[in-house]
Amino acid sequence: MPAAAPGTSAGKAESEMRGAAMRNETPVTVVGTLVKSAEPRRVGEDQAQVLKLRIASNERRYDRAEQRWVDGDSLYLSVNCWRQLAENAASLVKGDPVIVSGRLRTHEWTTEHGERRSVVELEASAIGPDLARCTVTAVRRPRREEYPATAVDGADDPGPDGADDPGPGGAGDGGGELGDAARPLVGATV
């Protein structure tokens, strides 16, 4: 169905409906730890990059009777990062403390036996290290338009600072399917 023309009453109604849908989304921020290393893949006709992460957010509370901190409940959540965020988050590994912001989404499907299933996932709009539990040294990546014209997916890219240093992963650590895109954006000390 074609979109209504802006400025028309139908266009205004369509815009209001989109706004209402955005207001009804559930924005969340989760502080946790990666419990599984990233799983990169490409999907759709445009081969959009998606990175699936799994995090655990563990409740810590102070037990006044015992006068110490104790573990509470744990929330395990799958996180999906898309396109540029997926490329940038590819350097995260199991055990990294992270803060993830995004929207909760329910993914529903029917099994081969006709049973309906659903799972809640977090579609990330931002992800970063939890600076309460680690320190980092940020390394800015150049924008796509700043890459040399001869570079293909970073193949000839000497790195964000112009150095040929392979970084913490060492030589030959191409990051799997994501190649040089998976080199660390931050150096974290846990």
Residue 162 has a pLDDT of 40
**Looking at 83-189, which runs of residues are DSSP E strands?**
97-110, 116-129, 135-138, 186-189
Question: Model-level pTM?
Answer: 0.58
Superfamily in which the 25-189 domain is placed by CATH: Nucleic acid-binding proteins (2.40.50.140)
Query: For residues 159 and 171, what is the distance between their CA atoms, to the nearest angstrom?
Result: 13
Give the three-class secondary structure for 131.
coil
Alpha carbon 141 to chain centroid, angstroms: 17
pLDDT digits (tens), the chain, 190 positions: 445 555 555 545 544 544 544 556 778 999 999 998 888 888 888 888 899 999 999 988 899 999 998 988 999 999 999 988 998 888 898 999 999 999 998 889 999 999 999 988 999 999 999 988 888 887 777 776 655 555 444 444 444 444 444 343 333 344 444 444 444 445 555 5
Residue 24 has a pLDDT of 64
Residue 60 has a pLDDT of 86
